[in-house]
Chains A and B, each alone.
Chain A
């Protein structure tokens, strides 16, 4: 591909991404949304974030499901979730999660 073509492609990619991000922000208030859609928006953060988190914990590297204690990410994620639930402290949750990840991967190894 020649350089000009590459540049045009990247600019068009930027436009597509920007318009996707702008879509509802710009359209909001221009027409009446059904009540169900407005109620549904409340669940966007919990749904999207959970959908990002769980595969990162349970299918590391895109592999098969691994919920064994030899999966340090899973163990660290569960501990972090418990800390977040009990304390609601973001920084403490993150520090605990990373420390458990490092400690667990150093200490616990898959047999064989």
Chain B
């Protein structure tokens, strides 16, 4: 079925909606914490637009409150956001033919949530650039899903700053994020290397959950990727002999 760029854009927004449920209270809590840490209103809001990375914004808010030095805050931001380099490598082959302004936009909007939803759309499409340009482009799907998250993050930050966090924790809305990721990842577990990579990554993440600066997540991701690669190389070897 042919889809226009416009319908791709809206399909991307729709796919992000369940995640937005979980992101909204998170953004509100960030707003509240930033203000209580002594950040000026304008700066608390600007951080959501300039940095646009939830976990590092939370950590930076803490560091501001304790008066940590500039270099410490920057290094922490770098380490906490290291996993984004993995996302960057993962989407790179799909966007390599795009003009620079698109690449800059894709990079600026590359969050956990946008990546999780859009990478599967890119996979379905294949990495070959479409000649003639008549087919709808998955980049509009990415743009829709990433901008929906961006707008929600800015708005929920503002609500947190000006109204406070109003959503009771007992609603369990933060569960919307892992549950959406389950819906995305389970159908992608099609072969043994993928299953092994998921199992190992999950196990390492459980063991290393207490590590600071999201380093446990990074270690788990790398362990899972290495396992998947190893299983695939074994499979290729077996097929050859």
Query: Chain A interface (Cβ within 8 Å of chain B)?
Result: 1, 3, 5-14, 16-18, 20-29, 36, 39-59, 62, 65, 73, 76-77, 80-81, 84-85, 88-91, 93-94, 97-98, 101-102, 105
Report the number of A-B residue pairs with Cβ-Cβ less than 8 Å: 258
* Interface flag for B202 (CB, 8 Å): yes
Query: With A20-B81, A56-B177 given, is the CB distance from A1 to B64 under 8 Å?
Result: yes
A-B contact pairs, 14 of them (CB 8 A): A10-B60, A28-B93, A43-B193, A43-B225, A43-B227, A44-B225, A46-B198, A47-B223, A51-B205, A51-B220, A52-B205, A53-B181, A81-B182, A93-B179
Would you list the 7 A-B pairs with minimal beta carbon distance, nearest first?
A47-B224, A43-B228, A51-B220, A14-B50, A84-B186, A54-B202, A93-B183
Closest Cβ–Cβ distance, residue B183 to chain A (whole Å): 4
Chain A interface, >50% SS class = helix
Q: Which residues does chain A contribute within 8 Å of B184, judged by CB atoms? A: 45, 49, 90
Most buried by A among B176, B178, B187, B229: B178
Q: Which residues does chain A contribute within 8 Å of B182, judged by CB atoms? A: 53, 77, 80-81, 84, 93, 97
Interface size on B, residues (CB 8 A): 90
Q: Which B130-158 residues sit within 8 Å CB-CB of chain A?
A: none
Contact of B194 with A48 in the complex, beta carbons under 8 Å: no
* Interface flag for B126 (CB, 8 Å): no
Q: Which B64-81 residues sit within 8 Å CB-CB of chain A?
A: 64, 67, 70, 73-74, 77-78, 81
Contact of B233 with A39 in the complex, beta carbons under 8 Å: yes
Q: Which residues does chain B contribute within 8 Å of A52, judged by CB atoms? A: 112, 177-178, 181, 205, 217
Query: Which of B2-10, B24-32, B103-111, B160-168 interfaces with chain A?
Result: B103-111
- CB-CB nearest in chain A for B189: A46
Give the complex CA separation of A39 and B197 in angstroms. Answer: 13
Query: Chain B interface (Cβ within 8 Å of chain A)?
Result: 15, 18, 39-40, 43, 46-47, 50-53, 56, 60, 64, 67, 70, 73-74, 77-78, 81-93, 95-96, 103-104, 106-108, 110, 112, 115-116, 119-120, 172, 175-189, 193-194, 197-206, 209-210, 216-217, 220-229, 232-233
Q: Which residues does chain B contribute within 8 Å of A85, judged by CB atoms? A: 186-187
Q: Which residues does chain B contribute within 8 Å of A77, judged by CB atoms? A: 178-179, 182
Query: With A12-B70, A84-B183 given, is the CB distance from A6 to B40 under 8 Å?
Result: yes
Q: Which residues does chain A contribute within 8 Å of B220, judged by CB atoms? A: 47, 50-51
- CB-CB nearest in chain A for B47: A10
Q: Which residues does chain B contribute within 8 Å of A44, judged by CB atoms? A: 86-87, 89-90, 119, 221, 225
Query: With A42-B228, A43-B193 given, is the CB distance from A51 to B103 under 8 Å?
Result: no
